C-alpha cells in the first residue's frame, strides 16, 4: 500500500498547521517547497519544457524576493510510481539534483522556472556573476538594482579573465547574489538600509507564503497536461505602456494610482474604451525625463523595469568603457508626472473651450505629444502663453492633424525633433516644425469637389 506521508519533511499548510490537502488550494512556505526540491522529493514530469528563463526574468524574481512581494502560486501532482495513471510516466530531475522515482512524492506542473532559479541561488552562474545594489532613491525608499559583475581584467596578460571582478562590489550597499542567498553573516560594512533589505530578502526565501494546488495521483495525465499547457499560455508580455509604467512605478509606487485617478476625470476620452490618455501621459513623462517620447529610444537608454536611469554613454567592455548614466529618483518621476498633468489640464481645456472638441479619438497622438511638450516648456519657464501664442500653436497643430504628415513614415524622428524644437525656442519652434513636417495651408481641394457645375452623377 502506498504510504502517502512517507516524506521526511511534508508540505505543511501554514494556515492550518497540517499537511496540504489534495485537490484543494493550501498555503505553504517557499522554504518547504525548495527543501523538498533539493531533497529530490519534488521532480518534474516528462512533458515539462526546458529551463527557458533568461537573466532578466531571474532578476525580476530576485527583486520580488527583496521587496517581499508575491511570486505566484504553484501546481503539483501527487506522484506514486505504482499508480496505474503514472506507471509509464518518466520524470526529469531539477538541474544539479539527482533522485530516484521511488523517492519522488510530487511532480511540479507550474512554477518550474521560479523553483529552478530559487534552488540554484547560491551556486548558479547567474548568482555568481550578478550583484544586488541596494540603492536609496529617496530619503525613505530603497530599491534593489541588479547588475552583472564585470569580468576580472588581467593587467599582465592584457585580457579579461572568465572570472567576476569582486573588487567592483561596493560593500556598503552591494552584495553578490550567491552570498546574499546564503545564510552566512552579512558584511560588517553594509549600511543599515542595505542590511535591512538583505535581511528581508533572506526572510522571503524562508518564510514567504505561497498558494499550492495539488492534483491527486489518480488525475489523468491528459488533464494534467492540459492544465500545464493552459498555465504556460497565460503569461502576457508587457506592452510599451505597461513597461514604462512599471519602470517608473518601480521608483514611484503611487504612479499607477495617480494616473488612474487623473484619467478617470477626463471628459473628452472614454477611458474605459481607450488607453490613449494613459499612453499620452507616459509618453509625455518620458519626453520630460529622456528628451524623447518614444518607448524604443527610452528602453535603449535606461528605461529598465529593474534599473530605471538615463544612459549618457553606453558601456563597451571590449573598449573598457563603463556606462555613464544619471540615476532617476522618485522625485524625478513625481516631477515628470506633475508637470505632465499640468500640461494635460491646459490641453483638455483648450480642446473643449476653443477647439470645441468633445471626442478625443479624432485627435492625433503625435501632435498631442508636441502640444504637451509646448505647455510643459511654458510651465518650466514659469510663464503662461498669450492668447495669440495659443492661437498660433492651435493653427499649426490643426493643420498638421488635418493633413496628417505624422501618419506613416518616420514619425518617431519627426515627433522627437518637434519636441526638441519646442525646448530650443518657444518663438521659432513652429517655423522649424513646419519645415520638417512639410505641412501647408489647407486648400479648397482638401475638402473634395463641392462645385455644382463640375460635380457629376454616377451613371
Q: What is the pLDDT of residues 60-69, one digit of tens each?
A: 999 999 999 8
Are 193 and 229 contained in the same domain?
yes
Q: Which of 174, 201, 235 is the last residue of a domain?
A: 235
Q: Which of 235, 263, 292 is the last residue of a domain?
A: 235
Domain range enclosing 363: 240-445
CA–CA distances in Å: residue 405 to residues 225, 280, 347, 367, 398: 52, 19, 21, 10, 11
State phi, psi for 133 to the nearest 5 degrees: -100, 125
Cα 224–225–231 angle (5° rounding)? Answer: 90
In a domain, 281, yes or no: yes
Neighbouring C-beta atoms of residue 119, cutoff 10 Å:
20
Are 201 and 221 contained in the same domain?
yes
Strand partners, 52: none
Do 39 and 93 touch, CB atoms closer than 8 A? no
In a domain, 161, yes or no: yes
Mean pLDDT (whole number) for 52-75: 91
Work out how many domains the chain is built from and give that number: 2
220-263 tens-digit pLDDT: 887 888 777 777 665 556 789 988 998 898 888 889 889 999 99
Separation CA 400–CA 373 (nearest Å): 16
Would you tell me the crossing angle of helices 255-263 and 276-290 to the nearest 10 degrees?
130
Q: DSSP 3-state assignment of 445? A: helix
Are 319 and 390 contained in the same domain?
yes
In terms of Cα–Cα distance, which of 104, 77, 110 is closest to 219? 77
State phi, psi for 254 to the nearest 5 degrees: -80, 0
Mean pLDDT (whole number) for 146-173: 93
In a domain, 455, yes or no: no
Are 206 and 270 contained in the same domain?
no
pTM of the model: 0.71
Q: Which of 235, 264, 288 is the last residue of a domain?
A: 235
Q: Give the pLDDT of residue 182.
A: 93
Report which of residues 10 and 443 the model is more confident about. 443
State phi, psi for 311 to the nearest 5 degrees: -80, 130
pLDDT band for 458, please (50, 70, 90 cuts).
very low
Are 144 and 12 contained in the same domain?
yes
416-446 tens-digit pLDDT: 999 999 999 998 999 999 999 988 876 666 5
Amino acid at each position: 500500500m502506498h504510504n502517502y506521508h512517507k516524506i521526511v519533511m511534508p508540505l505543511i499548510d501554514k494556515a492550518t498547521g497540517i499537511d496540504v490537502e489534495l485537490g484543494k488550494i493550501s498555503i505553504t512556505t517557499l522554504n518547504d517547497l525548495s527543501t523538498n526540491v533539493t531533497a529530490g522529493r519534488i521532480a518534474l514530469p516528462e512533458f515539462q519544457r526546458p529551463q527557458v528563463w533568461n537573466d532578466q526574468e531571474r532578476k525580476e524574481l530576485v527583486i520580488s524576493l527583496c521587496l517581499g512581494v508575491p511570486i505566484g502560486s504553484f501546481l503539483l501532482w501527487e506522484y506514486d510510481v505504482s499508480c496505474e495513471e503514472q506507471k509509464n510516466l518518466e520524470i526529469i530531475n531539477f538541474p544539479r539534483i539527482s533522485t530516484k522515482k521511488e523517492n519522488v512524492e510530487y511532480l511540479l506542473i507550474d512554477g518550474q522556472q521560479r523553483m529552478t532559479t530559487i534552488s540554484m541561488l547560491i551556486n548558479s552562474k547567474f548568482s555568481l556573476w550578478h550583484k544586488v545594489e541596494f540603492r536609496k532613491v529617496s530619503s525613505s525608499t530603497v530599491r534593489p538594482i541588479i547588475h552583472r559583475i564585470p569580468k576580472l581584467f588581467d593587467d599582465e596578460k592584457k585580457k579579461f579573465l572568465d572570472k567576476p571582478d569582486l573588487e567592483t562590489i561596493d560593500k556598503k550597499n552591494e552584495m553578490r547574489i550567491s552570498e546574499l542567498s546564503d545564510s552566512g553573516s552579512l558584511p560588517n560594512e553594509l549600511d543599515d538600509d542595505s542590511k535591512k533589505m538583505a535581511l528581508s530578502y533572506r526572510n522571503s526565501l524562508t518564510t514567504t507564503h505561497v498558494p499550492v494546488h495539488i492534483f491527486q495521483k489518480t488525475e489523468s495525465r491528459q488533464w494534467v497536461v492540459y492544465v500545464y499547457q493552459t498555465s504556460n499560455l497565460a503569461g502576457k508580455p508587457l506592452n510599451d505602456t505597461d513597461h514604462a509604467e512599471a519602470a517608473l512605478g518601480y521608483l514611484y509606487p503611487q504612479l499607477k494610482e495617480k494616473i488612474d485617478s487623473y484619467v478617470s476625470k477626463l471628459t473628452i476620452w472614454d477611458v474605459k474604451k481607450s488607453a490613449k490618455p494613459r499612453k499620452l501621459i507616459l509618453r509625455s513623462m518620458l519626453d520630460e525625463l529622456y528628451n524623447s517620447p518614444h518607448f524604443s529610444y527610452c528602453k535603449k537608454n535606461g528605461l529598465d523595469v529593474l534599473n530605471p536611469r538615463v544612459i549618457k554613454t553606453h558601456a563597451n567592455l571590449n573598449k573598457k568603457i563603463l556606462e555613464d548614466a544619471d540615476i532617476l529618483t522618485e522625485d524625478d518621476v513625481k516631477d515628470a508626472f506633475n508637470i505632465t498633468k499640468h500640461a494635460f489640464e491646459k490641453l483638455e481645456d483648450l480642446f473643449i473651450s476653443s477647439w470645441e472638441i468633445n471626442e478625443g479619438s479624432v485627435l492625433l497622438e503625435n501632435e498631442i505629444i508636441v502640444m504637451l511638450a509646448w505647455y510643459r516648456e511654458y510651465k518650466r519657464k514659469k510663464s503662461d502663453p498669450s492668447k495669440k501664442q495659443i492661437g498660433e500653436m492651435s493653427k499649426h497643430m490643426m493643420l498638421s492633424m488635418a493633413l496628417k504628415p505624422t501618419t506613416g513614415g518616420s514619425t518617431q524622428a519627426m515627433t522627437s525633433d518637434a519636441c526638441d524644437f519646442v525646448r530650443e525656442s518657444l518663438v521659432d519652434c513652429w517655423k522649424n516644425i513646419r519645415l520638417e513636417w512639410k505641412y501647408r495651408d489647407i486648400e479648397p481641394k482638401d475638402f473634395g469637389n463641392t462645385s455644382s457645375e463640375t460635380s457629376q452623377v454616377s451613371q
